[in-house]
């Protein structure tokens, strides 16, 4: 092609791109305009891992909140508001969580955040909520730091790791365990709970043979060699099922016969999918949790039926808690609306209204928050894995149920 | 005329086998000696006292008791790394660029093979297969893995690298990183659309999980049993077979000669009537097939895979290729074995020798640290780069 012609061609191309860009800009402006006209929208955001390895639990946290909004937003609709769910995918990753939190804070229609599955994601993200006075009600974050910072906006309706780790150690002692090896996944959550377990275990006279963190997800050979050489009666696993189910399988294949004890991060039917029969071998696999299977709670029968009808599967752990979180948010927004005489309430007022709720009847029990945002009394469970079939995960045997007040 | 072909065939089969044996025994002996020397040095130190108080065993016996298991794990891992490393090194030899998408080719191989086995499992074929049948299905799955991964590698070369072949060296490198990310998400997307799963788990079948007891080591009052899993033997065996086959193809066949000539000088090779594009495609095919097979072996050994499974083994195999001397097939083999051993030793002993200050989570850091130090003193790798003829 001669040069002048190619220049002409190029100029034509540029013009075309320019026109396309202009058209795009006009269209996007139109959309923005539309958003402005719909004034009376209230949004409740969820943040949980919707993609990646923890998406089974994360998606059901979103679904639980969605169900609550569909079923319980009636009073707000009567006042002329549309209530919407704004689901965000934090990918179980602190960076993504914080980026999402910035977007959430920037949307004035969002009055509450239900969420986070991982404490390591909740802790940095909630700094954003705190500086915007946006209320956050967590269904699953158990690290003590979540509420120990004393933020007025941050609440949770589950137990704490300092208690949960200790509960695990007490259970191990009651099983006659004399020596244990402690592993964690180096996250705020996993390492935290492992430390609390270790502290209580040592106090109860269990010999802790080793305390180690690892991010390894597949090849546990070299990690297991020294652990198995030290012949522990039990191995405590602080962290998530996606790592530990593989480790349990590898350890059983190396003919480890002892007991495995993990935490609420292990509570996912995917653990059975990955671990299979290995979870039942030897002295068995146990986990402590702050959320029993939905069927344990007296008020959840209807929730389970509705959930199955809508989403076609048994709710994963924390789905019922997410339902309650959204319910609490809706009730608090209603109260705040009543106080502000129908005007859209300020975020700080909603946060205050959440703390002010007294004896809120949720499906997982009666909810009262203390001054830090913890439940005045939380439930802790020790559960034994009884089936390698993932669909029977919620039928695992509950060995112990405890009601414990949070430390002050 | 004598039969040069026959003797050459035999030579090209025996030579790599001999090399592997030397590498495995050599690397194992060197690492074992270093470890035992370290244990001797540590006698009477705090580490020793801690071990005696907690486990009733002194440091030297502790090292000795764990040694056989560590060696077995190291060799298994080493052969997996070696099989992946060959893919990097072959492409580097021919095109002089690092195919960073190779780790995803590995993942595709793992997924294809595991999906095939899961499908067979659903049909009930795996449960019905006898001991021989289970090996047959594993072989079939390997073929599926190799086909899928080799095909994908060729496709990637055609789409993402060939148009950039004359571009500056950094351009195809960026393209490779892009392809790597794209493939990760393509696997993720395909899996979530078809099965809705993020993890896939290798079905349990045959006798691969069985452990063959080798010998027992007396250890104070009781004893430690040293055993090897059937699947570790399968992994090592399959990897050895493939490496020998690859060596044969490259060094003793006509197409291998063509590959070597393209690696040496692409333009002259073209003048001699060699179809350069076809040869480069073929290089990607066998490199990819080898990576795919390694993926399935990895899945067999470690049972669970996800779309990001290729990343760490990929990085480590790349390291192994550099360690051995990139572009050098024998070097990749040696590099893989050394890195596998290094990782296995660091993982097993680091925590004990540092009294828990550095746990086995630091094994990768140790492995890469050794690599950096080594590369400073010998930048062209253990056996040297093989690109000098190209200049």
What's the rounded mean pLDDT across residues A374-400?
90
What's the rounded mean pLDDT across residues A147-155?
93
The chain-wide mean pLDDT, for chain B, equals 87
**Owner of token pair 């080799």:** B150
The confidence band for A194, taking pLDDT boundaries of 50, 70 and 90, is: very high
Rounded-to-integer distance, Cα B296 and Cα B106, Å: 8
Q: Which of A8-22, A197-211, B16-30 has the lowest mean pLDDT?
A: A8-22
The confidence band for A28, taking pLDDT boundaries of 50, 70 and 90, is: low
Cβ contact A210:B356 at 8 Å:
yes
Residue B296 pLDDT exceeds 90: yes
Rounded-to-integer distance, Cα B363 and Cα B342, Å: 8
**Owner of token pair 């005329």:** B1
Residue B33 pLDDT exceeds 70: yes
Residues of B with CB below 8 A from A276's CB?
201, 204
Task: Name the residue facing B199 among A51, A207, A270 (closest C-beta).
Answer: A270
The confidence band for B351, taking pLDDT boundaries of 50, 70 and 90, is: confident
Task: Count Cα atoms within 13 angstroms, Cβ side, for A197.
Answer: 35
Structure tokens at A352: 């205050």
| Optimal mutation site among B303, B313, B353, interface A, most CBs of chain A within 10 A | B303
| Optimal mutation site among B56, B71, B348, interface A, most CBs of chain A within 10 A | B348
pLDDT in tens, B59-74: 888 888 888 889 998 9
What's the rounded mean pLDDT across residues A180-195?
92
Structure tokens at B328: 């050098």
CB contact under 8 A, A223 and B224: no
Rounded-to-integer distance, Cα B292 and Cα B142, Å: 8
3-class secondary structure, B100? coil
Cβ contact B356:A226 at 8 Å:
no
Q: Which of A6-10, A43-47, A389-393, B320-324 has the lowest mean pLDDT?
A: A6-10
The pLDDT value recorded for residue B389 is 43
- Bigger pLDDT: B108 vs B204: B108
Topology of domain A162-289+382-404 in CATH is Rossmann fold (3.40.50)
The pLDDT value recorded for residue B388 is 40
The length of chain B in residues reads 391
**Owner of token pair 């390698």:** A388
Percent of chain A whose predicted confidence (pLDDT) is above 70: 90
pLDDT in tens, A62-119: 999 999 999 999 999 988 899 999 999 999 999 999 999 999 999 999 999 998 999 9
The confidence band for A16, taking pLDDT boundaries of 50, 70 and 90, is: low
The confidence band for B219, taking pLDDT boundaries of 50, 70 and 90, is: low
Task: Name the residue facing B302 among A218, A242, A276 (closest C-beta).
Answer: A218
pLDDT in tens, A265-308: 999 888 998 898 999 999 999 999 998 887 788 888 899 999 99
pLDDT in tens, A220-233: 888 888 888 888 99
ipTM, two decimals, is 0.76
Phi, psi torsion values for A401, nearest 5 degrees: -130, 130
Alpha helices in chain B (DSSP H): 4-41, 46-55, 59-95, 102-122, 125-128, 131-156, 170-194, 230-252, 254-264, 266-271, 276-302, 311-324, 329-353, 363-377
Rounded-to-integer distance, Cα A217 and Cα A236, Å: 17
Structure tokens at B11: 């030579």
CB contact under 8 A, A250 and B306: no
What's the rounded mean pLDDT across residues B114-140?
89
A218 close to B (CB below 8 A): yes
The confidence band for A21, taking pLDDT boundaries of 50, 70 and 90, is: low
Percent of chain B whose predicted confidence (pLDDT) is above 90: 47
Number of Cβ atoms within 10 Å of the Cβ of B82: 32
Q: Measure in Å the smallest separation between the Cα of B323 and chain A Cα atoms.
A: 21
Cβ contact A269:A246 at 8 Å:
no
Task: Name the residue facing B73 among A218, A221, A270 (closest C-beta).
Answer: A221
Task: Name the residue facing A212 among B301, B302, B351 (closest C-beta).
Answer: B351
The neighbouring-strand residues paired with A115 are A47
Residue A18 pLDDT exceeds 70: no
Closest CA to B156 of B196, B186, B127: B186
Task: Name the residue facing A222 among B188, B211, B343 (closest C-beta).
Answer: B343
Structure tokens at B238: 């399959």
What's the rounded mean pLDDT across residues B198-208?
85
What residue in A sits closest to B69 (Cα-Cα)? A225
Between CA A206 and CA A215, with CA A212 as vertex, the angle to 5 degrees is 140
A173 close to B (CB below 8 A): no
The confidence band for B125, taking pLDDT boundaries of 50, 70 and 90, is: confident
A391 close to B (CB below 8 A): no
The pLDDT value recorded for residue B390 is 39
The pLDDT value recorded for residue A33 is 45
The confidence band for B110, taking pLDDT boundaries of 50, 70 and 90, is: very high
The pLDDT value recorded for residue A9 is 62
Task: Name the residue facing A223 among B76, B201, B360 (closest C-beta).
Answer: B360
The pLDDT value recorded for residue A19 is 62
Residues of A with CB below 8 A from B345's CB?
222
Alpha helices in A340-395 (DSSP H): 347-356
Q: Measure in Å the smallest separation between the Cα of B319 and chain A Cα atoms.
A: 18
Domain spans in chain A, listed from the N-terminal domain onward: 41-159+296-376, 162-289+382-404
Structure tokens at B286: 């066998």
The pLDDT value recorded for residue A12 is 63
Query: Cα–chain-centroid distance for residue B289?
Result: 13
The pLDDT value recorded for residue B327 is 85
The neighbouring-strand residues paired with A397 are A384
Residue B362 pLDDT exceeds 90: no
- Bigger pLDDT: B271 vs A24: B271
| Intrachain domains A41-159+296-376 and A162-289+382-404 with the same fold | yes
pLDDT in tens, B145-199: 999 999 999 999 999 999 998 899 889 999 999 999 999 999 999 998 888 788 8
Rounded-to-integer distance, Cα B339 and Cα B363, Å: 11
Residues in chain B whose Cβ is within 8 Å of chain A: 54-55, 62, 65-66, 69-70, 73, 76-77, 188, 192, 198-199, 201, 204, 209, 211, 224-225, 229, 298, 301-304, 306, 309, 312, 343-349, 351-352, 356, 359-361, 363
Q: Measure in Å the smallest separation between the Cα of B209 and chain A Cα atoms.
A: 7
What residue in A sits closest to B344 (Cα-Cα)? A222
A407 close to B (CB below 8 A): no
Q: Measure in Å the smallest separation between the Cα of A28 and chain B Cα atoms.
A: 28
Topology of domain A41-159+296-376 in CATH is Rossmann fold (3.40.50)
A223 close to B (CB below 8 A): yes
Cβ contact B371:B322 at 8 Å:
yes
Q: CB burial class (10 A; 0-12, 13-18, 19+) of residue B254? A: exposed
Residue A2 pLDDT exceeds 60: no
What residue in A sits closest to B306 (Cα-Cα)? A53
Q: Measure in Å the smallest separation between the Cα of A246 and chain B Cα atoms.
A: 7
Rounded-to-integer distance, Cα A200 and Cα A196, Å: 6
Residues of A with CB below 8 A from B356's CB?
210-212
| DSSP 8-class letter at B387 | -
Task: Name the residue facing B204 among A186, A254, A276 (closest C-beta).
Answer: A276
Rounded-to-integer distance, Cα A312 and Cα A333, Å: 30
The pLDDT value recorded for residue B337 is 93
Rounded-to-integer distance, Cα B342 and Cα B357, Å: 19
The pLDDT value recorded for residue A221 is 84
Closest CA to A386 of A314, A286, A290: A286
Residue A1 pLDDT exceeds 50: no
| DSSP 8-class letter at B157 | I
A214 close to B (CB below 8 A): yes
Q: pTM for this one?
A: 0.80
CB contact under 8 A, A210 and B55: no
The pLDDT value recorded for residue B103 is 95
Domain spans in chain B, listed from the N-terminal domain onward: 4-386
Task: Name the residue facing A225 among B54, B76, B348 (closest C-beta).
Answer: B348
A208 close to B (CB below 8 A): no
Cβ contact A199:A165 at 8 Å:
yes
CB contact under 8 A, B70 and A211: no
Q: Measure in Å the smallest separation between the Cα of A92 and chain B Cα atoms.
A: 14
Q: Measure in Å the smallest separation between the Cα of B201 and chain A Cα atoms.
A: 6
Topology of domain B4-386 in CATH is ABC transporter involved in vitamin B12 uptake, BtuC (1.10.3470)
Rounded-to-integer distance, Cα B80 and Cα A145, Å: 42
Rounded-to-integer distance, Cα B109 and Cα B289, Å: 8
Task: Name the residue facing A214 among B192, B229, B361 (closest C-beta).
Answer: B361
Closest CA to B187 of B108, B113, B115, B110: B108
Chain pair A-B, CB pairs under 8 angstroms = 96
Number of Cβ atoms within 10 Å of the Cβ of A398: 15
């Amino acid at each position: 092609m001669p040069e002048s012609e190619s220049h002409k061609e190029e100029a034509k191309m540029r013009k075309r791109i320019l026109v396309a860009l202009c058209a795009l800009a006009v269209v996007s402006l139109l959309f923005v305009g539309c958003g402005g006209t719909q004034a009376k929208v209230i949004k409740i955001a969820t943040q949980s891992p919707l993609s990646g390895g923890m998406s089974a639990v994360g998606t059901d946290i979103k679904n639980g909140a969605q169900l609550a909004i569909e079923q319980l937003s009636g009073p707000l609709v009567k006042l002329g508001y549309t209530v919407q769910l704004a689901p965000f995918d934090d990918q179980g990753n602190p960076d993504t969580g914080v980026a999402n939190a910035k977007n959430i804070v920037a949307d004035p229609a969002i009055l509450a955040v239900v969420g986070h599955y991982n404490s390591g994601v909740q802790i940095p993200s909630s700094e954003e909520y705190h500086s915007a006075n946006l209320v956050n009600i967590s269904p699953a974050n158990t690290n003590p730091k979540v509420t120990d910072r004393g933020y007025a906006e941050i609440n949770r309706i589950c137990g704490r790791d300092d208690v949960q780790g200790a509960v695990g150690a007490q259970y191990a002692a009651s099983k006659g365990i004399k020596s244990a090896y402690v592993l964690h996944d180096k996250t705020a959550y996993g390492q935290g709970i492992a430390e609390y377990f270790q502290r209580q275990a040592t106090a109860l006279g269990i010999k802790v043979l080793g305390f180690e963190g690892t991010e390894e997800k597949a090849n546990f050979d070299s990690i297991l060699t020294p652990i198995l050489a030290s012949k522990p009666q039990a191995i405590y696993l602080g962290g998530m099922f996606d790592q530990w189910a593989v480790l349990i399988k590898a350890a059983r294949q190396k003919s480890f016969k002892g007991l495995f004890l993990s935490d609420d991060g292990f509570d996912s039917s995917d653990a059975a999918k990955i671990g299979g029969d290995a979870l039942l071998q030897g002295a068995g696999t146990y986990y402590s949790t702050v959320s029993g299977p939905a069927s344990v709670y007296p008020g959840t029968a209807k929730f389970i039926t509705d959930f199955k009808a809508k989403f076609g599967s048994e709710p994963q752990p924390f789905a019922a808690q997410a339902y309650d979180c959204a319910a609490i948010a809706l009730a608090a927004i209603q109260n705040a609306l009543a106080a502000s005489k129908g005007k859209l309430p300020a975020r700080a007022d909603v946060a205050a209204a959440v703390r002010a709720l007294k004896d809120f009847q949720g499906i997982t029990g009666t909810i009262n928050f203390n001054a830090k945002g913890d439940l005045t009394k939380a439930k802790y469970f020790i559960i034994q894995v009884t089936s390698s079939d993932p669909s029977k995960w919620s039928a695992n045997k509950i060995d112990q149920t405890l009601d414990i007040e949070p430390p002050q | 005329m004598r039969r040069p072909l026959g003797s050459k065939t035999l030579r090209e089969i025996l030579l790599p086998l001999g090399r592997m044996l030397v590498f495995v025994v050599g690397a194992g002996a060197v690492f074992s000696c270093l470890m035992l020397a370290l244990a001797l040095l540590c006698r009477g130190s705090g580490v020793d006292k801690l071990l005696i108080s907690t486990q009733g065993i002194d440091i030297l016996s502790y090292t000795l008791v764990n040694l056989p298991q560590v060696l077995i794990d190291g060799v298994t891992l080493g052969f997996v790394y070696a099989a992946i490393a060959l893919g990097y090194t072959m492409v580097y030899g021919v095109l002089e660029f690092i195919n960073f998408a190779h780790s995803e080719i590995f993942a595709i191989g793992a997924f294809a093979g595991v999906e095939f086995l899961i499908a067979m499992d659903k049909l009930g074929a795996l449960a019905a297969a006898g001991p021989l049948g289970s090996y047959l299905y594993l072989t079939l799955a390997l073929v599926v893995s190799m086909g899928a991964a080799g095909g994908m590698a060729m496709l990637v070369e055609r789409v993402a690298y060939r148009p950039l072949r004359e571009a500056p060296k950094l351009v195809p490198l960026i393209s490779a990183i892009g392809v790597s990310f794209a493939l990760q998400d393509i696997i993720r997307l395909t899996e979530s659309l078809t099965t809705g799963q993020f993890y896939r788990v290798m079905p349990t079948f045959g006798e691969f999980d069985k452990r063959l007891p080798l010998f027992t080591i007396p250890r104070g009052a009781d004893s430690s049993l040293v055993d090897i899993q059937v699947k570790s033997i399968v992994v090592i065996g399959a990897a050895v077979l493939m490496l020998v086959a690859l060596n044969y193809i490259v060094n003793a066949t006509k197409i291998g000669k063509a590959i070597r000539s393209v690696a040496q000088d692409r333009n002259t090779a073209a003048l001699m009537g060699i179809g350069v594009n076809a040869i480069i495609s073929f290089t990607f095919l066998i490199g990819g097939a080898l990576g795919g097979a390694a993926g399935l072996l990895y899945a067999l050994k470690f049972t669970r895979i996800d779309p990001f499974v290729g990343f760490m083994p990929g990085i480590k195999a790349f390291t192994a290729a550099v360690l051995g001397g990139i572009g050098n097939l024998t070097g990749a083999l040696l590099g893989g074995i050394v890195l596998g051993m290094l990782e296995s030793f660091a993982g097993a002993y680091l925590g004990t020798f540092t009294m828990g200050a550095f746990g086995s989570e630091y094994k990768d850091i140790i492995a890469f640290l050794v690599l950096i130090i080594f590369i400073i003193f010998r930048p062209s790798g253990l056996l040297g780069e093989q690109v000098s003829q190209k200049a």
